[in-house]
Chain A
Amino acid sequence: MNPAISPLDLFSPGGAGAHAISPLLWGLVWLSVAVILIIAAAVVAGVVVRSSGARDPAAVKVERSGNGLWWIYGGVGVSIVVLLIFVGWTMLTMAGIAAPSRPVALTIAVSARQWWWSFTYDAPGGSVVTANEVHIPVGVPVHFVLTSPDVIHSFWVPALGGKTDVIPGRANEAWLETDKPGVYRGQCAEFCGMQHAGMALFVEAQSPADFAQWLKAQAEPAAAPGGGDDVAAGAALFVARCGGCHTVRGTEAHGAKGPDLTHVMTRTTLAAGVLDNTLGNLSGWIADPQSLKPGAKMPAVDLSGAELESILTYLKTLT
């Protein structure tokens, strides 16, 4: 089930932060349009009205006339008043987004890294670790603690709120609160290397009941591979060849360099939004990540066709 994904635009705020920012943002945009039109009109009209059509300066008399200074006094005076109004509005808006309106319901640890997002929740059943797709309950403030083990990234979900940089050595904080259920797209917004363009994230807001259910399911370790020898063989191969970088809770795979794959089949995208999560794409990704996301840290693991099939058979069970 893939709920509709909103694009990255700023026209349809869907969260408290974005709602608070939007009026000021659009107020400034419309102010800008007005100023541009006024000055452009003044310049064009001035040129048309005052020009004699001459093309040679020597043919036009030099003359100092008129009360030009009033243009400056008037224009600057109006500008100062308008600017002060917007400064005031800005300060008010800043106060409004400085902290959530209510105490936060949930804290999620975000680790931004080249070029994907790791999310960790403390859940009743044990900690939940997932990648690139973060679920939150709708209508309540959710707190994000942002860290990075490598370079500077920026956590940004335009429909929900402004961006917050993720700075190595610091733990920055952000909070998001959505209006209604849906999937909201985010994007890393600070140049972080080769695949900065390929570092999307998805925030899915669910009703509190749905969210609780999701979280419970995610907290479960991977089911023991039933379904026969094929799956068991695939599991063993996975642990041997992929477990160095990837974790699947409940197995021997404990690697921490790549995303946690315990419930990878529940995600809608792969490789931080570069690919839709289909078996075909998953297969292609494992076979040759560099051709799909050049520069990604996942190496091309040397697998035969049969080995790849076997691993996929196992991965299909990670729901």
Chain B
Amino acid sequence: MTTTSEYERVPEIRSLSDDPGLPARLKALWETKPGLWGWICSVDHKSIGIRYLFTAFLFLVVGGLEALVMRVQLAGPERRLLTPEAYDQLYSMHGITMIFLYALPVLSGFSNFLFPLVLGARDMAFPRLNAFSYWVYIAAGLFMYASFLMGVAPDDGWFNYAPNSLPPYSPGPNMDFYALGMIFLGVSTTVGAINFVVTVLRMRAPGMSINRLPILVWGTTTASVGILFAMPAVTLAFFMLWMERQFGTHFFGAGGGGQPLLWQHLFWIFAHPWVYIIVLPAMGLVSDALPILCRRPIVGYTLVVLATILTMVLGFGVWVHHMFATGLPLVASSFFSGASFIITIPSAVATFAWVATIWTGRPVFTTAFLYFASFIVMFVIGGVSGVVTAAVPADLQLTDTYFVVAHIHYVLIGINLFAVLGAIYFWFPKMSGRMLNERLGRWAFWITFFGFNLAFFPMHLTGLLGMPRRVYTYPRGLGLEGVNMLSTVGSFVLGIGILLVLVNIWHGLRHGAKAGDNPWDAPTLEWATTSPPPAYNFAIIPAIASRHPLWEGRLGEGSGRSQFDRGFALDHGKEALATTALDAEPDAILRMPDDSPWPFLLTVAMSVGFAALLLHSWWVVAAAVLAVLVYGLLWLWPRRRLLQIAGAGHG
């Protein structure tokens, strides 16, 4: 047997019966070494995904506790539990935590864990970058929370309008923590997005053409492309803010001829697409799992995929609807108002697809199903309150009132959190090898559902009663006492529901019933391997013939049959298959990197650098930059063993 060069080979096709030692060999190549250092250096997407989930849930709890304190303050009029400054820091950190430190990372956790599995791949395209994105996420989160622990948390809201964020009105370091923290976090978000995009384009199982991808993959990929185009707007805005605060540049401050509205444009050009970024993957989770629990494929797969993409594209064209009251020319407002109405249409496609799937399927009442079914209703409630505010005249009354608070919580909790909770029940068995308790799950669901609606549905009325947002208290005699008390009670009930979910997870990890490979009898590839999956995911790379590989016999879609027993073994080292973008034909054999300390060390260097920027220690900044460059160079140093460069056995 000869190969003409080390640079090419024909990948061998084998089956497990031909080569029963294959799993053990792959395990030795792929498994992370035990111990703390092994864990720190791990590049296994499953481990990284689970870390993301744990950390995101930690921030969810912290953000939730912040909200509960706020709700105690607002339970009655003119309360003095919190000073205005304390309230302002709480509501700002609540928003920052939920929108940046929970909402996307939790979805990144699911996507990270699931992508290679549902795509039939051995890992993400950039395993070390994957680890890096996690380390930077937690470092940036801790960086921003350091401000909270020191009592100087940002206090101008998550949207941080100028000029209030400038030194004359915000003299302390609060805004600097926020600005630098967001720039830092942006690195994680951006590289995470790059990883998802390249993984989807390159690392699929043979035959998994683009019309066979799970909708989670479409949702996350679309969101990731959105991140690539949206993130720089906010990174730039925060960089300019930081410059103005430290060096007196004149971007936003009216006194120096700057433009306060420039901040709003840059911020919302990012932040509006961001709200679609934090819901499209969640909608994808539901679009994949709900049909499985209705025992059929989703109705209108192609329409739902197109709706996903269209939502993200249109999402870049509506940002001015956050600025209708700023005194814009009427023509500009009309355009953005119309666009904001139109963006409802792809959402309607998805909604009716889900409803149709229930009506033409046979729903099964697992806990996950309860979350997914209620998700549809809350998606619609959040959506219609958005339609109300899409109309400029209505928005001029309702913007900056509790009506918008109701809207944002229905879309964020109803779409993101409820999808996530359902997804936890659905995929927990795959991640941990154990089942969650269904009975406790149902109790937790109903308490969560009831508490959430009790807390937030009245807020529509609170807004119609004229209560503005972002107020630390309200006077007696405006009719606001009753609705605020209801919201406070509801928020605590919601908190209890979440607590029960956490208890269920804690208990499940220790004592849950053992899960088989496919406890839900589901059709996609992650269920074709063990629970939890081995480090290398698939010993034999599967070849795919349809959208529902494990249901092929039953659905009778076409004559093709996916192959699991025979396929590429790819065991000449730590290897994965690259395929073409549209049709997923084999294109290259990739050599995957081993576990590495560089992502962690690079994060440490960057953390030092950002802390030094905060403290104006310019020499330390210079040293950190140097460290970053050196560590980055060592990380990227090409390896002959990985056939990134010449010389391995050549000639």
Knowing A46-B355, A76-B352, A163-B396 touch, does A7 contact B85 (C-beta < 8 A)?
no
**A71 adjacent to B338 (CB under 8 Å):** no
Q: Please, which residues of chain A bring their CB within 8 A of the CB of B468?
A: 156, 187-189, 196-197
**A163 adjacent to B475 (CB under 8 Å):** no
Q: Please, which residues of chain A bring their CB within 8 A of the CB of B255?
A: 168
Closest A residue by C-beta to B85:
A194
Q: Which of A36, A49, A192 contacts B381 (CB 8 A)?
A: A36
Closest CB of chain A to B441's CB: distance in Å?
Answer: 11
Q: Which of B260, B362, B399, B479 contacts A163 (CB 8 A)?
A: B399
Closest CB of chain B to A82's CB: distance in Å?
Answer: 9
B474 within 8 A of A: yes
**A43 adjacent to B377 (CB under 8 Å):** yes
Tell me, in angstroms, the Cα distance from A71 to B464 when the chains sit together.
33
Tell me, in angstroms, the Cα distance from A70 to B161 when the chains sit together.
46
B333 within 8 A of A: yes
**B376 adjacent to A39 (CB under 8 Å):** yes
Spot the interface stretch: A53-61, A255-263, A299-307: A53-61
Closest CB of chain A to B539's CB: distance in Å?
Answer: 25
**A294 adjacent to B352 (CB under 8 Å):** no
B358 within 8 A of A: yes
A214 within 8 A of B: no
Contact with B along A46-74 (1 / 0, CB 8 A): 11011111111110111111111111101
Q: Please, which residues of chain B bring their CB within 8 A of the CB of A74?
A: 352
**B345 adjacent to A152 (CB under 8 Å):** no
**A63 adjacent to B300 (CB under 8 Å):** no
Contact with A along B127-169 (1 / 0, CB 8 A): 0000000000000000000000000000011000101100011
Closest CB of chain B to A17's CB: distance in Å?
Answer: 8
A123 within 8 A of B: no
- How many contacts between A and B, using CB within 8 angstroms? 302
Spot the interface stretch: B230-238, B324-332, B505-513, B562-570: B324-332
**A9 adjacent to B394 (CB under 8 Å):** no
Query: Which residues between 339 and 392 of chain B lie within 8 Å of chain A, taking CB atoms?
Result: 341-342, 344-345, 348-349, 351-353, 355-366, 373, 376-377, 380-381, 384-385, 387-388, 390-392
Q: Please, which residues of chain A bring their CB within 8 A of the CB of B596?
A: none
**A163 adjacent to B364 (CB under 8 Å):** no
A162 within 8 A of B: yes
Q: Please, which residues of chain A bring their CB within 8 A of the CB of B168?
A: 150
The residue among A18, A71, A93, A192 with the most chain B CB atoms within 10 A of its own CB is A71
Knowing A8-B465, A57-B366, A76-B348 touch, does A24 contact B394 (C-beta < 8 A)?
yes
Q: Please, which residues of chain A bring their CB within 8 A of the CB of B303?
A: 69, 72
**A35 adjacent to B259 (CB under 8 Å):** no
Q: Please, which residues of chain A bring their CB within 8 A of the CB of B554?
A: 61-63
**B337 adjacent to A72 (CB under 8 Å):** no
Spot the interface stretch: B272-280, B290-298, B604-612: B290-298
**A187 adjacent to B348 (CB under 8 Å):** no
A279 within 8 A of B: no
Knowing A9-B466, A75-B351 touch, does A190 contact B364 (C-beta < 8 A)?
no
Closest CB of chain B to A51's CB: distance in Å?
Answer: 4
Contact with A along B239-259 (1 / 0, CB 8 A): 000000000000000110111
Tell me, in angstroms, the Cα distance from A189 to B467 when the chains sit together.
9
Q: Which of A75, A165, A191 contacts B352 (CB 8 A)?
A: A75
**A62 adjacent to B551 (CB under 8 Å):** yes
Q: Please, which residues of chain A bring their CB within 8 A of the CB of B467?
A: 8
Q: Please, which residues of chain B bring their CB within 8 A of the CB of A40?
A: 377, 380
Q: Which of B345, B438, B465 contacts A55 (CB 8 A)?
A: B438
B15 within 8 A of A: no
Closest B residue by C-beta to A75:
B352
Spot the interface stretch: A169-177, A202-210, A228-236, A281-289: A169-177
A91 within 8 A of B: yes
Tell me, in angstroms, the Cα distance from A189 to B355 when the chains sit together.
39
A105 within 8 A of B: no
Contact with A along B94-105 (1 / 0, CB 8 A): 000000000000
Closest B residue by C-beta to A94:
B392
**A194 adjacent to B355 (CB under 8 Å):** no
Q: Which of B358, B399, B523, B557 contacts A47 (CB 8 A)?
A: B358
Closest B residue by C-beta to A61:
B295
Knowing A69-B300, A162-B396, A197-B84 touch, does A151 contact B359 (C-beta < 8 A)?
no
Spot the interface stretch: A25-33, A132-140, A245-253, A310-318: A25-33
Q: Which of B327, B358, B364 contacts A170 (CB 8 A)?
A: B327
Tell me, in angstroms, the Cα distance from A214 to B395 when the chains sit together.
34
A83 within 8 A of B: yes
**B345 adjacent to A53 (CB under 8 Å):** no
Closest CB of chain B to A114's CB: distance in Å?
Answer: 8
Tell me, in angstroms, the Cα distance from A116 to B320 when the chains sit together.
28
Query: Which residues between 92 and 145 of chain A lie within 8 Å of chain B, taking CB atoms?
Result: 93-94, 97-98, 114
**B391 adjacent to A53 (CB under 8 Å):** no
Knowing A66-B360, A79-B348 touch, does A191 contact B161 (C-beta < 8 A)?
yes
8 pairs of A and B residues whose beta carbons are closest in the complex: A162-B396, A8-B466, A169-B254, A68-B299, A66-B360, A71-B356, A197-B471, A168-B254
Q: List 24 A-B contacts (CB under 8 A).
A: A28-B394, A42-B355, A43-B358, A50-B359, A55-B438, A56-B364, A57-B520, A57-B521, A61-B295, A71-B352, A72-B352, A75-B352, A79-B345, A80-B345, A89-B391, A90-B394, A94-B330, A94-B337, A156-B468, A163-B325, A167-B261, A167-B326, A197-B84, A294-B83
Using a CB–CB distance below 8 Å, which chain B residues touch chain A? 83-85, 88, 156-157, 161, 163-164, 168-169, 254-255, 257-261, 292-297, 299-300, 303, 325-327, 330, 333-334, 337-338, 341-342, 344-345, 348-349, 351-353, 355-366, 373, 376-377, 380-381, 384-385, 387-388, 390-401, 438, 464-475, 477-479, 519-523, 551, 554-555, 557
Given contacts A66-B360, A152-B260, A295-B84, 8 further A-B contacts (CB under 8 A): A11-B464, A25-B391, A39-B376, A46-B363, A57-B521, A79-B345, A87-B337, A156-B400
